[in-house]
Amino acid sequence: MVTSKSKVAIIGAGFVGASTAFAMSLQQIATEIVLIDVNKEKAYGEALDINHGISFVGQMAVYSGDYSDVKDCDVIIITAGANRKPGETRLDLAKKNVAIAKDITQNIMKYYTRGVILVVSNPVDILTYMITKWSGLPNGRVMGSGTVLDSSRFRYLLSKKLNVDVRNVHGYIIGEHGDSQLPVWSATHIAGQNINEYCQGPNGILTPEDKLAIAEEVKKAGAEIIKNKGATYYAIAITINAIVESLLKDQNTIRTVGSVINGNYGIEDVALSLPSIVNSGGVQSIIPLTLSPEEEAALRASADSLKAILNEVKD
């Protein structure tokens, strides 16, 4: 629990924004949470609903507000956006959400005093890049949830396959939060051993086919959930909470958040996810991993595919 005053704004009180506020209230992450949405009734209703439970978890202020409430926030989370309509392409949706994000950024910056902007809305890598540019904030003060959720899915699937506690499985998905992402097998560890070495022992078998299947399942996980229940929000809410905790408690946690990359692995001027040290200032630094040649090539390809989308949507 955070004891000093901490204020978080959530822009967008839809499935993701409301679930995030709910998870934050359960974990008592912040002392003050403000929900901001074009749909004021929705934001008001979500805040009211959460407030009726706080007597069981602890005192905190949860309310709906407007952009002037961004003042003095430690973290500003953007979860607003449109969903894909029938017949609409990914690119159409990207253009629509870029326009929404621009409007939101301009409103935030009218009242911004300090804090980190955490982008969650999709396409998250594109929006992280654009919001970094529009806001004029120093690099790293704007970050995307990027592949933090994908890395969690990766660890979960490995833990199930190898029948070991997920907290003992360490590994990263990097690159795009989307189709061109990749797992870093060369830096995946259990019990201090590389995954390949671990699986030579008595505790697990992981074939090249298993590896491909796990990477594919991580990639398709969001679509699988949407096919079955229409939207994804619980795991992303917990993911956002974990990132916000690192920020509010100045934890120097390593997380695969997204930020604008300038030079790592020869990649320039695009936002994507790499293991980064996260503290109250945002992305403090990016960990230079020794990638295999195949991993490095796949990361560059991921950057190229993101740049191609950026070129289509940049204004």
Residues forming contacts to ligand 6V0 in the complex (CB under 6 A) are 11-17, 37-39, 42, 79-81, 83, 100, 103-104, 120-122, 124, 145, 149, 177, 231-233, 236
Beta carbon nearer to ligand 6V0, 146 or 171: 146
Q: How far is the CB of 165 from ligand 6V0 (least distance, A)?
A: 24
Beta carbon nearer to ligand 6V0, 14 or 171: 14
Q: How far is the CB of 95 from ligand 6V0 (least distance, A)?
A: 13
Q: Known catalytic residues? A: 177
Measured over the CA atoms of residue 171, residue 248, residue 240 and residue 145, the dihedral's sign is negative
| Distance (Å, whole) CA 282 – CA 246 | 9
Do 121 and 94 touch, CB atoms closer than 8 A? no
| Distance (Å, whole) CA 80 – CA 100 | 8
Beta carbon nearer to ligand 6V0, 48 or 205: 48
Closest CA to 211 of 229, 188, 227, 192: 188
Beta carbon nearer to ligand 6V0, 35 or 291: 35
Beta carbon nearer to ligand 6V0, 81 or 140: 81
Q: Which residues pair with 174 in a beta bridge?
A: 182
